[in-house]
Structures are given as structure tokens and as C-alpha cells.
Amino acid sequence: MPDVLVNPYCSVADVQAEIKNAAAALVDEITRAINRASRWIDDWKARDYFLHDYSVTPLTLTAANALVSDGVLLLPHPGIVSLTEVLEGAGTLTEGVNYSVVYERARREAIGLARIGGGSAGGGGFINPYSTIGQEAPSSSPFGWALGYSTGQAVTLKGKFGYDQTGFVPVTSAGDTLNQLSNWVLTGLGTAVVFWQIATVSGTQARVRLFSDAAHASLIAEGTGLNASVVTLTAQNGSGVSGTVDMVYLGDDLDAANTLTPGTPVIDRTVVPAGIPQEIVWCALQIAAAFSGSNRKEVVGVDGAKESIIDRSIPKAVFDVLGRKGPILV
């Protein structure tokens, strides 16, 4: 069974280009090298860069596991893809009213939440960021996060953290009485129902269109293909919606009852997370090339002759880019 990428920080094609070898026989070895390289970086940086989904089961931060620095409740997985709910005890906190998102200056990466105005939605003691983690400050503490051991209070977060690996959005189709369209693979959909049409363009081609409204006034994606083909849908009017659909054209269907209802987006752990820092991608590429066992470099011998050798060492530049090895946080 072929090896599979798991939360990779670079692609197989990237490594193939780096080692100048696209042989199919090496794909599994390169895949393993990328997985090892990506986890090596996680270990070195004492953090990771892939998606952590707490959209259903919330992330719970307590006095036992939370880190607070200068009043900022640090995210265990830096980067916010979405943040839909923040609770302090039983109290709901609102961004801009009760808390603000704090970003790392250079990269603009979300690293934590700062309480606005101090106080607590649920009462109890506070963690003092200037004391040992876990020690309580008085309830009048200005540092603002109610995580006291004595109260057992927690802050819970719902959302997605790290860097996005959301793949296609599965949809439920309605209205396709002739079964002309199947295997919808769409990205960029929200939660709202969208509306589809299919119509002939010529004797051999047909067009599929998606709209955000039943009146078919707001086009969000469309694509044209042979009557029996896979149609590529491209985003229209800045919608961000795109994808593919299998089409077997049998007749025009412009009914307003033709709908697609989005389901839960599928997380694709085989893709490089969107938007991860480019220096991390570059480092993963260099390390994976070294780990692949196929990274050939030309060197010049003492006699001046060039020869090709296998280089298994991680380049010094990688350590310069990554910086010092991060602390182990328990």
C-alpha cells in the first residue's frame, strides 16, 4: 500500500524538483521523508503548523494546562482559522467587548487572547502571568482570565486553530431528476444552500452554473464541458467557490428547485496547510531532501575533478532559519 502524506509542510513535487529526480519508484521514500521532516520541525519548534479542529468539541484551557504571558492567554496551537465561541466558565465572551486577538508582530499570526477591561464573566481567581504558571492571583487581578484552581473554572474555545487544511465541502443535491450531475467536489462554500443549472451550449457541450439565490441572479461558479465529461467549475464574481462535477447531459434543467446543501467540510490531512510560513516550507523541503537518501550534490575532489555524492545532512541554513530549539512545554 502506498505511503500517504500526513500534515506535510512541503509536497512530493517540491522534493522531486529539489533532488532533480521524479522517478515514480522514489515517491514512497519521498513521502516518508516529508512526514519525518515535518515532524522534525514540530519537535524543533515545540509547536506545529497544521489544523486543529475544535469546532464541535471545544478546546478547554484550565489553570493546569493554560499558559498566560503578559495578560495574554496563549493558544496552544497558534493561528486562528475560525473562532466561533469563547466561554469563560458559563459566560460568553465577545470579541472587541470582552477580549481581543493578539498577533505576533512580524508574521501577523494569532498567538493568544487578551481580556479587555479585566474582570471575569464567571468570577473566581485569576492566573497571574508574572507568577509561576498555575498560582492564583487575587480576584481583583488586572490580568483578566478566570482560571483559578479553587474554582475549577475553565476557558473553552470553539473553532479551528493552526493553518487550514479544509478540503472539499460535501453537498446534498436536489432536483436532478435525470441524474445528469454527480460527484460534486466543491471548495469555498459556506453554509448556505446554493442553486444549480445545466444547459446546452452546442450540440456537444453543456454548461453548469451555480448561483447563491433561487432567482439565479447572483452567479458564483460555472464551467463548460463535453456532454459526458468532468466539468471544472471556476469562481465567478469573487465568490471563491470552485470545484468539479461529473456531467452526463440529457437536457436543460433550469428549475429553481435545483439545490446543493453544503455538509461539513472535509479536512484533508494530505495537503500542505494553507498559509504556513514560507520559511517553514523551505526548511521542510531541505530536510526532506536530506532524509530522502536521493539528494545528490556535486563536489570537487582534491584533484579538481567533480563527482556526485549523496548528501544526507541537514543544511546549516535550516538551523539558521529555524533558530534555537524550542522549549518542551508540558
What's the confidence (pLDDT) of residue 301?
62
152-177 pLDDT, tens digit each: 688 999 999 999 998 888 999 999 99
What's the confidence (pLDDT) of residue 105?
77
**pLDDT bucket at 150, cuts 50 / 70 / 90:** low
Please determine, for residue 125, whether its predicted confidence score (pLDDT) is greater than 70: no
211-231 pLDDT, tens digit each: 999 999 999 999 999 999 999
As a dihedral over the C-alpha atoms of residue 2, residue 3, residue 9, residue 11, rounded to 10 degrees, the angle is -20
Q: Please count the other Cβ atoms lying within 10 Å of the Cβ belonging to residue 203.
A: 6
What's the confidence (pLDDT) of residue 311?
74
Could you give the angle at the alpha carbon of 13 between the alpha carbons of 7 and 14, nearest 5°? 75
3-state DSSP assignment of residue 29? helix
- Specify the pTM: 0.72
For the chain, what is the total number of helices (H) and then of strands (E)? 4, 20
Domain ranges of the chain: 12-49+270-322, 52-161, 171-262
- Rounded to an integer, the average pLDDT of 64-75 is 86
Please determine, for residue 329, whether its predicted confidence score (pLDDT) is greater than 70: no
**How does DSSP assign 190-256, residue by residue?**
-SS-EEEEEEESSSSEEEEEEESSTTS-SEEEEEEEESEEEEEEEE-TT---EEEEEEE--S-B--T
- Rounded to an integer, the average pLDDT of 178-192 is 93
Residue 58, C-beta contacts closer than 8 angstroms, at least 6 positions apart: 85, 87, 156, 157, 158
User: Considering only CA atoms, which of 248, 200, 242, 201 is closest in space to residue 219?
Assistant: 242
Q: How far is residue 38's CA from residue 291's CA, in Å, rounded to a whole number?
A: 11
18-30 pLDDT, tens digit each: 989 999 999 999 9
**pLDDT bucket at 266, cuts 50 / 70 / 90:** confident
What's the confidence (pLDDT) of residue 133?
35
- Rounded to an integer, the average pLDDT of 71-82 is 92
**pLDDT bucket at 148, cuts 50 / 70 / 90:** low
